[in-house]
Structure 1
């Protein structure tokens, strides 16, 4: 499938590229070192329109299509995967609210999302990672409220300062297991809801990832997304879109690592010639470029099919699996091309290498993606 962008799409992608190069590139290493976004960075992302890019214009967003959204995340991830992570997870929450929320919820949260409020998605628990169906956090109905008890871990977009609301997947009817799970929006600052451990990560260091604790947290039933008992289905459908976002991040990291390798190979001279004159290194670059283009096409195809309302479970899993593994491969080869210098923090590839390694792990590990793909293939889907 060929993706020929419209003039408007090209303008948005160029805007993302310019924003990444002018606003993020100069501070990416500093944010990585401090394990924190600089003050004002998230607001800049909102001001340029990327927090609300998949929100319809009627709620204050740009209303762009899935393919353009993926391309924007790619451009951001080329320069700073932490900011790309923030955008990918946040736009996932936008999509869940848009597809499942009441009009009141859309008016409130989607408008907030466009102006700088950051959303998070909480499914994973200490004993329910890949096995999401084993989640134990409960939201028991009590009159006009839900009383929530439990904890979530490894939740992106929630930190000491970041994160304004979270879409929580919890058991409203524990006896029914997955059919008793519901999706509930919980605002930061709600009594009984607190941020626990903020993770100290190998990569994506600026992007907050935290434990969430719910201790007799009382939330009105008006915060329910969709119907009771539909939470697991809402989460799985949301993850299809989320996996395209993570695949986009993987493509962007790979593209950034490839560009870094090409630039370095032109500048580095050994034995009287640039190192890219060596056939072995040329073959590295050929493999890196070919695999990255394949990952990009898989990702854009899944995004395009989702835009047209198709079932993209298999395609999203393929894109996420291949793009994430390729990000690790390309970052590894790029660092190898940089030699000893690539291991030093003076070069961005050191950060890219660390950032790439998480992508095959979250939004479903590569092993989980292969389970999804194989089941679809066996079932003839």
Structure 2
């Protein structure tokens, strides 16, 4: 296992009490889990919070922090072997919550790198592919991306048009992918394509001729992050570029479920940070000669937010424990993702109301979180898709078409 970074700041963070924790959720966590959370929180406080407003304003993704995230053991955190940290699902979730308390874009980087690109290679790749890419990706020395979504194939990936045909001993890929995180800074892309034998995944070095990634700009959400459109024009790959362990959509879906799991925790991190910003502001801001926090309506808002944060973290922890035990069922991930994203957006928006007009500035985090969460609730399955997954679970009737 990779040892997480230590230091005075990390140790001090161990003593931080979460003001939103009304029911002592921390008592349900092990000392190792609390230490992991504290060290990631200290990193966020030191490296992300002082800079995130500028990064967001300038639509800048700080790629330079990738090696630091690798040293913290956050890249491919839940994977084992080939230099991967091998931490538990709960530790990964706690880390994700802390990162998203800083900004959704930073947790998204960790998710795209670890839950999507690295997971695809780890789950479905050959031993040679794992040796070639996973150690460097775990260290933050190489960046990966995951190409599934297309301009006309979002919620329905079975309708993807990207196609890989055989040409002698090679594969030749043509198509377009859209909303692909990190694609223009990645060294390797996992690209999913239709073939004559079903959907297959391909490990594509981004320097391959015919691969082009263009950032999607301007954006109102996820500004401190990168999303791209990829054009694949006669991208020629050797036979061993295919992921041997994945045939059909189960391959990419197994990776999407890893990313969806991380969102369950991450959304609550954004919600908690929004709540804490509103609470601190309400305690300091005087109106009619007393703090905003002294008014009944403000207290009701704070209580309602805190209750949903507590419930959201309990749900995330329950799902994480089941994931670690190997008993998690896929519809439970949908329950967590749908609920926690929906509640997190509501919390961020409500927190902004406590800040009044000042809440629209980047000095305060809630509206930035709310804007980011509009993307988080959309990617890795929209609210509607997860509703239908749960609807099928309840009724036994698929209603996707």
What's the counterpart of residue 352 of structure 2?
A: 335
> Could you tell me how far 1:133 is from its partner in structure 2?
1.1
- Number of aligned residues: 371
* Alignment partners' CA distance in 2, 1:258 and 1:69: 22
Aligned residue among 313, 323, 327 for 1:296: 313
8 Å CA contact 2:26–2:34 kept in 1: the answer is no
Within 5 A, what are the aligned runs for 1:232-243?
232-243=249-260
> Could you tell me how far 1:311 is from its partner in structure 2?
4.7
> Could you tell me how far 1:9 is from its partner in structure 2?
1.9
Within 5 A, what are the aligned runs for 1:207-246?
207-227=225-245, 230-246=247-263
> Could you tell me how far 1:376 is from its partner in structure 2?
1.5
Is it true that 1:51 corresponds to 2:51 in the alignment?
A: no
* Alignment partners' CA distance in 2, 1:223 and 1:248: 33
> Could you tell me how far 1:38 is from its partner in structure 2?
3.1
Task: Give the alignment's Cα RMSD to 1 decimal.
Answer: 1.9
What's the counterpart of residue 132 of structure 1?
A: 157
Is it true that 1:82 corresponds to 2:100 in the alignment?
A: no
8 Å CA contact 2:125–2:245 kept in 1: the answer is no
What's the counterpart of residue 13 of structure 2?
A: none
> Could you tell me how far 1:3 is from its partner in structure 2?
7.4
Within 5 A, what are the aligned runs for 1:212-361?
212-227=230-245, 230-361=247-378
* Alignment partners' CA distance in 1, 2:343 and 2:182: 25
What's the counterpart of residue 199 of structure 1?
A: 217
8 Å CA contact 2:270–2:369 kept in 1: the answer is yes
SS in 2 for 1:149: strand
8 Å CA contact 2:349–2:367 kept in 1: the answer is no
Q: Could you list the per-position Cα deviations for residues 265-319 of structure 1 after superposition, in whole angstroms to 9, with x for gaps in the alignment? A: 1111111111111111111111111112222222232232222333521111111
Q: Could you list the per-position Cα deviations for residues 24-81 of structure 1 after superposition, in whole angstroms to 9, with x for gaps in the alignment? A: 111111111121123522222223221142232x311221011110110100111122
1:2 to 1:34, Cα distance in 2 relative to 1, 3 A = closer
* Alignment partners' CA distance in 2, 1:377 and 1:112: 43
Unaligned ranges ≥5, structure 2 = 1-24
Within 5 A, what are the aligned runs for 1:42-191?
42-56=66-80, 58-92=81-115, 93-116=117-140, 117-159=142-184, 162-173=185-196, 180-191=198-209
* Alignment partners' CA distance in 1, 2:292 and 2:143: 44
> Could you tell me how far 1:255 is from its partner in structure 2?
0.9
Is it true that 1:21 corresponds to 2:45 in the alignment?
A: yes
1:314 to 1:97, Cα distance in 2 relative to 1, 3 A = same
Normalised TM-score (structure 1):
0.93
1:216 to 1:237, Cα distance in 2 relative to 1, 3 A = same
> Could you tell me how far 1:368 is from its partner in structure 2?
0.4
8 Å CA contact 2:40–2:95 kept in 1: the answer is yes
> Could you tell me how far 1:7 is from its partner in structure 2?
2.2
What's the counterpart of residue 176 of structure 1?
A: none
Normalised TM-score (structure 2):
0.88
> Could you tell me how far 1:260 is from its partner in structure 2?
0.6
* Alignment partners' CA distance in 1, 2:59 and 2:154: 24
Unaligned ranges ≥5, structure 1 = 174-178
SS in 2 for 1:328: helix
User: 4+ residue stretches of structure 1 with deviation over 4 A?
Assistant: none
Q: Could you list the per-position Cα deviations for residues 93-145 of structure 1 after superposition, in whole angstroms to 9, with x for gaps in the alignment? A: 22222222222121122112112122211111111111111101001122222
